Amino acid sequence: MADAIFEMLADPTRRRLVEAMREGERSVGELVDEVGIGQPGVSRQLAILHDAGFVSVRPEGRRRLYSLKPDPFRELETWLGSYKRLLQEQYAKLDEHLERMKKDVHE
């Protein structure tokens, strides 16, 4: 699961596209302007993201509007959550240690 997500987000162009779509649907033309690469490059990366299930496409007349699908990002959040819990436990231990050190200094 996480490998596929990291593989998709490892490419800097795809990350820029994902960032550009965070606020909602974007057309290819809007993405070209926001990301600063040519239309063929944007279209190629959108096809990769679409095939991997990261974006959906909605036709609107002659335009195609792309938006992020939430599922891959929920999976990433779940995966990262286990590491967040680990960090919180480590911070709690550090807090306890610092409190003990403070008490030792004041005694």
* Tokens standing for residue 104: 């030792």
2-69: CATH topology = Arc Repressor Mutant, subunit A (1.10.10)
- Per-residue tens of pLDDT for the chain, all 107 residues: 567 888 888 899 999 999 999 989 999 999 999 998 999 999 999 999 999 999 999 999 999 999 999 998 888 888 888 888 888 888 888 888 888 888 888 77
Q: Are 74 and 94 in contact (CB under 8 A)?
A: no
Q: Where are the domains of the chain?
A: 2-69, 70-107
- Beta strand ranges found along the chain (DSSP E): 26-27, 55-60, 63-68
Give the predicted TM-score (pTM) of the model.
Answer: 0.72
* Tokens standing for residue 71: 């599922």
Sign of torsion over alpha carbons 40, 51, 21, 61: positive
